[in-house]
Structure 1
Amino acid sequence: MAVSPTARTLLAGVLLATLAEAPAAEPTDEPPTLHASAARLMANGVRESVSGPPTAALSALVQAAALLEPDGRAALLPDSPAALAALTAVHCGELEIAERVLHRALGAGVGGPLMARRHRLLQAWILMVRGETHAATERLATVTLDGRQLESRDLLFAAAIRMGTGRRNSDLGALKRGWGQALEAVVRHPVDLFTLLPLGELAIAGARLGDLARLEPYLREGRALLGRLGEPPLWSVPLHWSGLHAAILTGEPARADEHVAALLASADHSRYAAVVAAAAQSWVEVLRGVVDPARVEAAARGLHDTGLCWDGARLAGQAAIRTADRRAMTTLLECARALQGRPSGGHGGPTSTTTESTTRAAGPTQQGLSDREYEVAELVLAGLTYREIGDRLFISAKTVEHHVARMRNRLNCANRAELLALLRTVVADRASDTAGQPWPQRATR
């Protein structure tokens, strides 16, 4: 039996509305069919995600997904259990589990064509989080191949993926072009637990565009929902992580400190929460000019190991351009390269030969890029040719070429592809977070 988008949304809303007060599932006289058992496991899984450990929630939802794999096309359920399992796994940093669940659901056709689109969207989300933006864009394109309009929740995820890939590619033009559609997608769907992830991603994009205020009513609604449910860490940690980066982009140290405090308070909930809390604390220290290379590298690698690969590389890169210690800078740049999938010297850090050669290339001025080099870098990342960049900056194409060659040498990049990857890390949010200038120190420690 097929379920319409409207019916599925209503059923999901009923499930969410009863979460705060619903008692644990009691035995019933219903026959233990696959569909009834899957529905019961889904309810238990979502309930555990609010009040229990993430392992219990993930286990129940993965079991529900597995039950429907033999004959999932006929199931009438509040949502695809595979989608909920994957979403829960993403929220606790278990991206490999999410990928496997989605792969099996797509192979079995769980939920028919309607849910196949949702499963592909979540696959695209995982690729985006890992920094595989090209693959994420390709996967997103498969969702709309049939030309049919996406339902409201899927439309919100699709908009957030477009904005998220644009942000990770430092493509300000793509962010501006997609912002109107993203706002429309937010308006079309009510705020619930299952949409906090795209809402958080859009908050960062809004901050990058200087238009976060238009999302603030929906963010308040999301925070209120979490407050009514007792601030469940599994759902609140990713929103605080997004809130931190939005605060960084809008230049609000006090608000960033609030998000860090909330993340630290949830650090004991799971490995993912602990990793994100440590990274958040390290990030604000870097912004205040306090760069501990060992601590930053540990935090960056922790992010990478939980699936936040792009964020891990960016943390290392941001620290590298803020330290006055050339050796620390080269170590952190090597870490950023390794976390982008370009290791050079092993997991533990660069070899002595690599460090020495990078230091020699750096010279006394390798504390970051000059203002002109940042301008050139941003335009190179936007895809402009040397001639177009020269016309924009009123310099010759040859001068642009010299700037690019100097940046490549300064950052010790072996080729243009490596230079572009590293530039995305070191210039991603300079315009909004006053790169190279430390934030005010906290009044209390």
Structure 2
Amino acid sequence: MIAQIVPAWTESDAETAEQAWRDGDVFGAIEAADRALAAGTDTDGRAAGVAAAGAAADGALLDAAARWRGVGAALEGAAAARAAGRAAMAAALTGDVATAVSDLADARDQLPDPAPRGLTVLLGGAGAVVEAMGGALDRASRHLAGLAAASVAPDPMAAERLDELAVTVTAAGGDVDTARALLHALPGPPTGRGRLLRAWLDMRTGHLAAARDSLAAAARTPVLRRDALLGAAVSVGLARRTGDTAAVAATWARVAPVVAGTDVELLLLDAWGELSVVAEQVSPTDRDLVVDAMRSALHRAGSPWWGVAADRWWQLERAVVADDAAAATQAATELTALAAEHPRLRGRADAATAWAAVLDGRVCPVAVDDAAARLADSGLRAEAAALCRGAAQRTTDPAATRRLLGAGRGLRPATGGSRTSGLLSGREREVGALVLDGLTQKEIGARLYISPKTVEQHVARLRQKLAASNRAALVAALRTHLEQ
């Protein structure tokens, strides 16, 4: 008879949960953590920590912060400080600045001397997010980038990586071109959230085909609600930019459950704004819910100027969709007042003023052209092109229409060293770029003020010149030749 050997030690569910989380097995980690919490065997707070990290990943950042506070209250020293620092990070991301400051104070009270380097980096990152909420966006971004370059591994239990936070803060400050460049320069393969940030910034800067590619890459791995919210903003934004109302409605129906119940992150207020514009087109009830959530987060943060500016910009975008000149004028007036104190807002303020005039039936091509150029300088070329296009649709002067449409076409992202510059005509490059953006021939015709039949002829010539036998092959060839 062979005696059964029983190991003297087996890994607890709490330990299993923490290790699974660190290995990237989110669902396995949460399942093991729930077992430990239900059985009352989580003696050292490991399972509770995984539950807190899981809440943050699921978009419940306020709940995550509260859970981390509970973990910290049961611990001492560095472990307590780490839990409080993670609580501060989660709270700060939702704009709960006062609570985040209190969490940071608690963390510093628990710091051992000397403190672990990774712990001081975590607390510095949370402090930088608090700094950003107060309006010091440039300084906070540099601070986060510096901390991210420190020789410590990223904290796998914190709500977000510091290098990606630096990118998000830069974008929240209105410099989306720089944010996109920073993200593309990060070393190593992108994380799932990094791919979604890339998709978001590609879309915001008008690189729609690249945004689709990044969104598709992110979709190959499971994501929880917090990241799915960002993916939802990209999905509806891409649908909106095609002008296909049926696609917009279908996309909204698909992403609306993701939006419901997710805490608003103030640094991603622009993503929520994009969602609010699509809701304006599809569902007034959903629009009100999204806008109320945005403004509650702003109020919780003390209504920082940059957040108020973002909110008023999206009020303008909703007014454009609704053809509401009065709402556009109100948004433009408030943005202009903010720009008097914060010059970086001048581009948005001028664009809002131009849009308000256009919606009111007063089209001044010079003013629109100038405002669009300023908007494009901040990286928002798609919004600048939309302004030119909207003005062109409302003027009765053929010369003004031609000028505005030409200005709008010139605001597309540069294609870089195109190998087809001597092969394709200017109009063929315009059509090809819109094919890449996912527009149908009818939509391309409406965008360029040419007939669908003419578009069909241009597409046929593109296929011939690029040796593309079908649309999929054409898209692949155009992506190789035209995209950055």
Q: TM-score, normalised by structure 1?
A: 0.70
Q: Does 1:139 align with 2:188?
A: no
Q: Which residue of 2 aligns with 1:53?
A: 136
Return the match for 2:170 from 44, 69, 89.
Answer: 89
CA distance in 2, matches of 1:72, 1:160: 30
CA distance in 1, matches of 2:402, 2:145: 43
One-letter amino acid of the counterpart of residue 328, structure 2: A
Q: Which residue of 2 aligns with 1:357?
A: none
Contact 1:102/1:123 (8 A) holds in 2: yes
Task: Output aligned runs, 1:146-157, within 5 Å.
Answer: 146=221, 148=222, 150-157=223-230
| Cα distance change on mapping 1:140 and 1:303 into 2, 3 Å | same
Return the match for 1:290 from 355, 362, 365.
Answer: 362
| Cα distance change on mapping 1:257 and 1:230 into 2, 3 Å | farther
Q: Which residue of 2 aligns with 1:77?
A: 158
Q: Does 1:65 align with 2:163?
A: no
Q: Does 1:127 align with 2:202?
A: yes
Q: Does 1:20 align with 2:98?
A: yes
Task: Output aligned runs, 1:351-370, within 5 Å.
Answer: none
1:104-143 CA deviation, whole Å, 9 max, x = no partner? 54x346xxxxx81111101000111122211101111111
How far 1:415 moved relative to its partner? 10
How many pairs align?
A: 354
One-letter amino acid of the counterpart of residue 209, structure 2: H
Q: Which residue of 2 aligns with 1:236?
A: 308
Return the match for 2:346 from 265, 274, 284.
Answer: 274
Contact 2:95/2:301 (8 A) holds in 1: no
Q: Which residue of 1 aligns with 2:83?
A: none
Structure 2, gaps ≥5 residues long: 1-18, 23-49, 65-86, 416-437, 463-484
Q: CA RMSD in A?
A: 3.5
One-letter amino acid of the counterpart of residue 91, structure 2: V
How far 1:185 moved relative to its partner? 0.8
1:19-69 CA deviation, whole Å, 9 max, x = no partner? 1365596776544544223323322222222223322222222223223xx
1:155-192 CA deviation, whole Å, 9 max, x = no partner? 11111111100111212232122112221011141233
Return the match for 1:5 from 54, 79, 102.
Answer: 54
Q: Which structure has the larger Rg?
A: 2
One-letter amino acid of the counterpart of residue 170, structure 2: A
| Cα distance change on mapping 1:252 and 1:20 into 2, 3 Å | farther
Contact 1:65/1:101 (8 A) holds in 2: no
Q: Which residue of 2 aligns with 1:253?
A: 325
CA distance in 2, matches of 1:383, 1:406: 9
Q: Does 1:187 align with 2:260?
A: yes
| Cα distance change on mapping 1:304 and 1:315 into 2, 3 Å | same
CA distance in 2, matches of 1:305, 1:414: 31
| Cα distance change on mapping 1:342 and 1:265 into 2, 3 Å | same
Q: Does 1:158 align with 2:207?
A: no
1:297-322 CA deviation, whole Å, 9 max, x = no partner? 11101111111111111111222232
CA distance in 2, matches of 1:272, 1:415: 44
CA distance in 1, matches of 2:338, 2:399: 34
Q: Which residue of 2 aligns with 1:44?
A: 127
| Cα distance change on mapping 1:74 and 1:196 into 2, 3 Å | closer
CA distance in 2, matches of 1:328, 1:262: 29
One-letter amino acid of the counterpart of residue 197, structure 2: L
How far 1:286 moved relative to its partner? 1.5
Return the match for 1:170 from 200, 223, 243.
Answer: 243
Structure 1, gaps ≥5 residues long: 110-114, 344-379, 390-401, 418-445
Return the match for 1:264 from 326, 336, 339.
Answer: 336
Contact 1:49/1:234 (8 A) holds in 2: no
Task: Output aligned runs, 1:362-381, within 5 Å.
Answer: 381=439
How far 1:341 moved relative to its partner? 4.3
Query: Which structure has the higher relative contact order (CA within 8 Å, separation 6+)?
Result: 1
CA distance in 2, matches of 1:157, 1:64: 24
